[in-house]
Amino acid sequence: MTIISAPRAGREAGPRRRRKAALTVLFWLFLVPFLVWAVIRLGGWERGPVVQLFAFTPYVAAAAWVPAVLALVTRRWTVGAVAVLIAILLASAVAPRAVPSRDQGPTVGVRLNVMTSNMLFGGADAATIVKLVSEHDIAVLAVQEFTTEGKEALAAAGLGALLPYSSLADEPKADGSGVYSRYPITAPGAERNGGGFMQAHATVDVPGAGPVVVESAHPLAPYASSVLKQWRQDLLAEPRADRSEVPRILLGDFNATLDHAPLRELISRGYRDAADATGKGLIGTWGPYDGDPIPPVTIDHVLVDERIGVREVSIHPIPGSDHRAVIAGLTVPPAR
């Protein structure tokens, strides 16, 4: 029996080794997209069609642990080690957004609650927006995709009683924007960016804190390869926070996540992202929420001058809009 069975065992061992080797090759091939993604993300080299895809980097970072675990469970130690390294690289770019930062800015100053809401061609539920303004003691509201109909709906819902001062640039479809304030404003105005969207702005005179420049930001979306140059230009054309000037707040629909290099470059020009600073940076703000199988991404932001502190951030759904509102509690420098 021993003489007969030995050759059979040898014949069976060969196919097993080949299957094992083939599976190992598949593991390596499975890792390649994650490796490429990590290299592009860490290098800030997203270009062309991948720009839109990179908004979903947090989901890719989570998925990167699947091949790592499978390789280790099946004792493919070399593949597993490389897979873990790739997963760690992606996690290093994403995970900090879920943890409150040690540097949330100044804690001494005047409280200022701000909110931004994309109204989706002016069709967002005005009553919900006004209710959030009231319940969260909002002093400054920025709106995008702000139409005349949206303006009238907010007025009918009673926004003027809460935020009587404004700088408004309502226009058809997605082009308009506005800034509403509880406190008096100076230098109201609006500028059209290269992508065609209006960006309303104003200097808000915060009692006990002096002036703060607020701007409703709405760079062009990277919806096609042909507009990517303008998308980058819109982001990089946003005003920097200059310590020699009045503190500045940019809030709105930036059509970019923290996994897009142009937004990170904008933030490096004197800002901090409020949601990122408070550990809320992975909460999706844009769906869409109409049944499409697309996971939420974080493209609505409150960017504050580094001289302004961040206390907390919350995200709220708005009926009639495919964006969620972002509310941030800030601390602005006291008047000298």
Would you list the domain boundaries of the chain?
A: 2-97, 104-332
Kind plus residue range of the DSSP H or E element containing 205: strand 198-206
64 pLDDT tier (thresholds 50, 70, 90) = very high
Long-range contacts of 180-185 (CB under 8 A, 24+ apart): 180/140, 180/141, 180/142, 180/143, 180/154, 181/139, 181/140, 181/141, 181/214, 182/138, 182/139, 182/140, 183/139, 183/207
pLDDT score for 1: 47
100: DSSP letter: B
Predicted local distance difference test score (pLDDT) of residue 203? 98
Q: What pLDDT shows up at residue 8?
A: 58
Instruction: Read off the pLDDT of each residue in 307-329 and give the average, rounded to a whole number.
Output: 97
Question: What pLDDT band is residue 294 in, cutting at 50, 70 and 90?
Answer: confident
- The pLDDT of residue 7: 55
Q: pLDDT tens-digit profile of 207-258?
A: 999 899 999 999 999 999 999 999 999 999 999 999 999 999 999 999 999 9
pLDDT of residue 14: 75
Q: Are 163 and 182 in contact (CB under 8 A)?
A: yes
What is the phi/psi pair of residue 267, to 5°? -60, -35
**Topology of domain 104-332, CATH:** Deoxyribonuclease I; Chain A (3.60.10)
Range scoring the smallest mean pLDDT among 13-22, 64-73, 141-150, 273-282: 13-22
Average pLDDT in the chain:
94
CA distance linking residue 319 with residue 129, whole number of Å: 9
Amino acid in position 28: W
pLDDT at 10 over 70: no
Question: The tokens of 103 are what?
Answer: 């540097």
Rounded distance, CA 47 to CA 30, Å?
A: 22
H or E element in which residue 25 lies: helix 2-43
Q: What confidence score (pLDDT) does residue 153 get?
A: 98
pTM: 0.93
Q: Hey, what amino acid is at 111?
A: R
